[in-house]
Structure 1
Amino acid sequence: MDVELVAEGLEFPEGPIAMADGSVILTEIKGQRLTRITPDGTKETVVETGGGPNGAAIGPDGAIWITNNGGSFVWLERDGLTIPGPTPPTHTGGMIQRFDLKTGKLETIYETCDGKRLVGPNDIVFDKSGGFWFSDHGCSTEDGRKFGAVYYAKADGSSITRQRDHLISPNGIGLSPDETVVYLADTMVGRLWALDVASPGELAKGPAFGAGRVVANLPGYQLLDSLAVEASGKVCVATIINGGITVFDPSGSTEHFAFPDLVVTNICFGGPDMCTAWITASSTGRLFKATWPRPGLKLNFIA
């Protein structure tokens, strides 16, 4: 696999979006901003978001939708690496933001669901109908942890529903090519879940125990972050500790592609053949470009 370092000096990059002009727009969680990176590695601030912008995606309106965790990490520097630490006591919750690329307007669309504040929105994916699934990672507390959840919301701001609750650490989220399955990476347990979709925006009833079907659990101590889906239906999940991308086949088999960072957090696909992969290596603040062995799944909306 050909791998190229495109940019460095980023403040915990995540949420890459492959843009039609060949650039990549990503979030810098610690930097509290969206940043555009051109093919030659030039960096340009798109918007200061505040909080902790984590995931990002283009919506049906051509705007960038952002899952913002509200600043749910204290940042630690260890052995030259930037590591997300515990949640600070000042944290009050996160939000879903919308940034209009044409007008430059940033607005908050959702902060609550059924009167309950969102804790730490993390990752996002739009379905063909124009609504979006997003994960809420939860956060740490002095006594333990606030649970996370999976939500579905409409891009006109009219509806948000909690589809799964009491999850340990929901992170990466994506859709199968036929959109009958929501894939969810559970960070702390190293597990990829498959949640069956009953209808657009509604999950089928889950089993008596667990969030859904288990695709696979990674052995030993490996943590899962955000993900992207291949056109074939394989699920590419950024892997922490065993730094790289772990590819899960829906049958449960896995393969691993190593990248030079302990904390690899995200992957997205682009290019004319969808075989260009952009990978965020967050603890070292770098963005890599790789020629992927198989095409990625084209997202429903691009800009």
Structure 2
Amino acid sequence: MRQITDGLRFPEGPIALSDGSVLLVEIQRGTLTRVAPDGTTTVVGDCGGGPNGAAIGPDGAVYVCNNGGFEWHDLHGLTAPGHQPAGYTGGRVQRVTMEGAVTELYTEVAGHPLRGPNDIVFDEHGGFYFTDLGKTRDRDRDRGGLYYGTVDGSRVEEIAYPLTEPNGVGLSPDGSRVYVSETVTGRVWYWDIDSPGRLRREPGAVGPGGARLLHGFSGYQPLDSLAVDSEGNVCVATLVAGAISVLDPDGELKDVVTMPEYDVFVTNICFGGPDLRTAYITSSGLGRLYAVEWPRPGLRLNFNT
């Protein structure tokens, strides 16, 4: 495993590009940033708030889940996100062009304001699934959900609610299943998909929103974002452990990949390189981006360039 760069301000949402660079968000800085192969960084767009998950859409723009920002703390030398900040203005889904133009696409669903949009993945039809983790305050916290939207602004729907701090979201290689990781419960759930944005509620599916359980982690292992590889394994960032945990499609834990230096906030993974065998991992508390050769090719995301 090699470090590409450091000094990032809580990086997340990595997107590997064909030229070897990586787009990512810096949540604390409020930017969409490009990291070149040599580690130099360039701001692509100023999103404000707290840009979180990101994905390239069918029009070549980057769609960003903006959680509205956090209070920030020092946790034994690590940068740590906290509660809803003073001056919080709400969550939103944003469109960011490669030239840096930032526009708001969605700020509410059916009259309910978005609170803390977190992660996003596009299906082959050009629509996107995204999670809203919600915000935490001193005495209460929001309930979260899974949503589906289109890039033309004509459709955004709540499709699974309530969930408990839903964070990462990803699709199976054939697009027939959507996965969601919940942070505080340490669980990965899944739903089968009938049609774009339409989930199948199977008899006996007693999880939240009619979900089925893929895997529940033992002990205290909160989860962050995830990516799916070409064999259908779910690679989920595992907080506290400071690792990427690899679950096979049946939910068995098959591998745990740790970072060179411990960071409680290992938050996300994406795949790139000519054969998709390079995994890029955000070590957010330390402000680093790592690259490691992966034992299996990743899954090529829809519309990635």
Q: If the length of structure 2 is used for normalisation, what is the TM-score?
A: 0.96
Alignment match, 2:240: 241
Counterpart contact for 1:177–1:297, Cα < 8 Å: yes
Q: Deviations over 1:172-210 (max 9, x none)?
A: 000001111100000101111011212111111263443
Shift of 1:89: 4.3
Give the Cα–Cα distance (whole angstroms) in 1 for the partners of residues 139 and 100 of structure 2: 40
RMSD: 1.1
Counterpart contact for 2:162–2:208, Cα < 8 Å: no
Q: 2:76 aligns with which of 76, 79, 103?
A: 79
Shift of 1:76: 0.5
Query: Is 200-209 or 9-18 further displaced after alignment?
Result: 200-209
Alignment match, 2:118: 122
Give the Cα–Cα distance (whole angstroms) in 1 for the partners of residues 242 and 217 of structure 2: 13
The letter of the residue matching 1:139 is: K
Shift of 1:104: 3.0
SS at match of 1:93: coil
Q: If the length of structure 1 is used for normalisation, what is the TM-score?
A: 0.96
Q: Between Structure 1 and Structure 2, how many residues are aligned?
A: 299
Alignment match, 2:272: 270
Alignment match, 1:299: 301
Alignment match, 2:140: 144
Residue 200 in structure 1 maps to residue 202 in structure 2: no
Give the Cα–Cα distance (whole angstroms) in 2 for the partners of residues 142 and 288 of structure 1: 34
Alignment match, 1:281: 283
The letter of the residue matching 2:280 is: W
After superposition, the Cα gap between the structure-2 partners of 1:219 and 1:208, relative to the gap in structure 1 and judged at 3 Å, is: closer
Counterpart contact for 2:46–2:100, Cα < 8 Å: no
Give the Cα–Cα distance (whole angstroms) in 2 for the partners of residues 41 and 156 of structure 1: 34
Counterpart contact for 1:97–1:110, Cα < 8 Å: yes
Alignment match, 2:156: 160
Give the Cα–Cα distance (whole angstroms) in 2 for the partners of residues 210 and 125 of structure 1: 20
Alignment match, 1:40: 38
Give the Cα–Cα distance (whole angstroms) in 2 for the partners of residues 100 and 168 of structure 1: 32
Residue 226 in structure 1 maps to residue 225 in structure 2: yes
Counterpart contact for 2:18–2:274, Cα < 8 Å: no
Q: Deviations over 1:112-134 (max 9, x none)?
A: 11011001000000000000000
Give the Cα–Cα distance (whole angstroms) in 1 for the partners of residues 276 and 75 of structure 2: 36
Counterpart contact for 2:161–2:208, Cα < 8 Å: no
Q: Deviations over 1:112-165 (max 9, x none)?
A: 110110010000000000000000011112322110100000111110000011
Q: 1:180 aligns with which of 153, 176, 179?
A: 176
The letter of the residue matching 1:18 is: A
The letter of the residue matching 1:286 is: R
Counterpart contact for 1:191–1:218, Cα < 8 Å: yes
Q: 1:96 aligns with which of 88, 93, 97?
A: 93
Give the Cα–Cα distance (whole angstroms) in 1 for the partners of residues 68 and 240 of structure 2: 25
Any unmatched runs of 5+ in structure 2?
A: none
SS at match of 2:292: strand
Give the Cα–Cα distance (whole angstroms) in 2 for the partners of residues 205 and 95 of structure 1: 28
Give the Cα–Cα distance (whole angstroms) in 1 for the partners of residues 164 and 275 of structure 2: 36
Any unmatched runs of 5+ in structure 1?
A: none
Give the Cα–Cα distance (whole angstroms) in 2 for the partners of residues 126 and 270 of structure 1: 17
